[in-house]
Amino acid sequence: MSAAAAAGTWKLGDLEVHRIGYGAMRLTGNGMMGNSDGTPIDRDSAVRLLHSAFEQGVNHIDTAAFYFSPLRSANELINRALSSWYGDVVVVTKVGPARDPSGEWLPMARPDQLRGQVEENVRQLGRDHLDVVNLRVGPGTASIAEHFGALTELREAGLIRHLGLSGVLPEHVAEAQTIAPVVCVQNSYGLDWRRADETGLVDLCGEQGIAFVPFFAVSGLRREAAAGQERDARVHSVARAHNATPAQVRLAWTLHRGPHVLAIPGTTNPAHLAENIAAGSLRLSEEELALLDKPDKDTD
């Protein structure tokens, strides 16, 4: 059994994936805000890292055409890795936001612009269709019907296999489900940021058989920032009990939230990659989960 298989599996439509995946944002040296300081990862090293993830059982990669820095494109690196890989890997991308070639953010795409974004991902990834496309919804968006309807047309045309959502509220999921099946919802969620619990989104996804895929599950409120020293005494306590790292405890807590909850931690460090994947075999006790779920945080 591969290391990633220890976390179990879930289906994105008819595509079965291990619950520990990989997020490609950090591969380019930049985050969503377009910061690109520091030396970008070497292309060969990036391909080796992705192959290592695949060898350890990761078969779910999260990416986007707007994950790029001046010298690196996440989609290009994934394309290189997949072109020399023999196994099946589900690639999930997202559309809606966009950046111009210089990296400047553009307004949210109109419904009629989504086809171009989908085709851009198809070209960059070197595929003839996309496994899953998430509509990334901007803050304050009321209705997503026109955008999701446009993606549904592209699914019917064969460019997309399955549809998902990102950055949404329960009402967006309900609206989309009246148009076409939603196979996953990707929102910011973790031990320190549980808005999706407050809105009921995590449970709603479980009830409807939709994968809930949190991002920033490890970094939490630090978001794209580099990993800092763990300050939560509860996390340290549980980590010591399992001879695990704080990041592994945070990932394990996320996966314990429900069998439909996946994880897509990203890293450029091979050792951290192995640790993240190994977190799928970490089993927390009811007492440990209760400790981590306490509303009041004790910090060092």
| Tokens encoding 280 | 């799928």
| Tokens encoding 161 | 């296999």
What is the spatial distance between Cα 71 and Cα 299, in angstroms, rounded to a whole number?
A: 39
What is the spatial distance between Cα 165 and Cα 9, in angstroms, rounded to a whole number?
A: 20
* Strand segments (E) across 63-159: 68-69, 72-73, 90-95, 98-99, 105-106, 130-136
| Tokens encoding 245 | 């790292």
- 292 φ, ψ (degrees, to nearest 5): -70, -25
What is the spatial distance between Cα 99 and Cα 203, in angstroms, rounded to a whole number?
A: 33
- Say what the alpha-carbon torsion angle 258, 264, 266, 269 is, to the nearest 10 degrees: 70
What is the spatial distance between Cα 236 and Cα 246, in angstroms, rounded to a whole number?
A: 6
**Which active-site residues does the annotation give?**
67
